[in-house]
Amino acid sequence: MRFLILTTIAVISLVSLSHQANAKVDPLQQAFNDVNVDGALVLLNDSSGEQLTNNSVRSQQRYIPASTFKIPNSLLLLEAGLVKDEHTQFVWDGVKRDYSSWNRDHNFASAMKYSVVPIYQKLALALGEDKMSKGVRLLNYGNKDISGGLDSFWLDGELAISATEQVQFLQRLYHNQLPVSERSQRIVKTMMLNEANSDWVLRAKTGYGVRQNKKIGWWVGWIEKEDNTYFFAMNMDLDNTQELPYRQAIVRQALKNLGLM
């Protein structure tokens, strides 16, 4: 009898383990597991308002926005008249930098696409601390703290924003609901175009920040489909620059896991 009970328990245990092994992994978390990194992805369904994440705690945690700040920054520069539109030209200053894509002339759209930090730093200084501070508060962007240097606060200063706040900000931009002109919002959305095909349009911006020796990678944006739009914001811990391609790979894989791409 005792042998029968033990055998039954063993069978139940094996069945339980089998069910656990076959249980579906969160499609968002699976994308992180595939490349063995830690991070959070928030996905917001525009129509239903449903919000998904693989990490509810981290999705609320604020991090330096790095070059994802080029989205609100571009809005403020357009509003101030420092940049006319996406075609405004910037002549290379001749200084050779580590990123070869920076060592040439750019227009405003390509400056965003290639995250040309020197151009945005000069424009931030031209905008001035008062207008920048008021603008960030007006947009209600993250913690709204621009301390740490007018030309670097979004790279290694005190400005911080969560993935959840990012998708909320992007949704307002998508619907032209930010407290700036519709023209500026439309121009920035044009500049954010990454890829388009017959099924969807992808608009997004990457970010790579280092603050207090902590490296953070971002990819934020949205995918427009015929019947709906999905906003996303992903941040991840980075050990080295070789992991930078994971930013887009994680989001793309998660969207594929959900049948959205």
Residues marked active site are found at 67
- How many Cβ atoms from other residues are within 10 Å of residue 74's Cβ? 25
Number of H helices, E strands in the chain: 10, 8
Q: Helix or strand or coil: residue 39?
A: strand
Q: How many CA atoms lie within 13 Å of 130's alpha carbon, on the beta-carbon side?
A: 0
Note whether 182 and 170 are within 8 A (CB).
no
Phi, psi (deg, nearest 5) at residue 255: -65, -40
How far apart, in Å, are the Cα atoms of 67 and each of 64, 121, 130, 155, 219? 9, 11, 21, 7, 9
Note whether 221 and 232 are within 8 A (CB).
yes
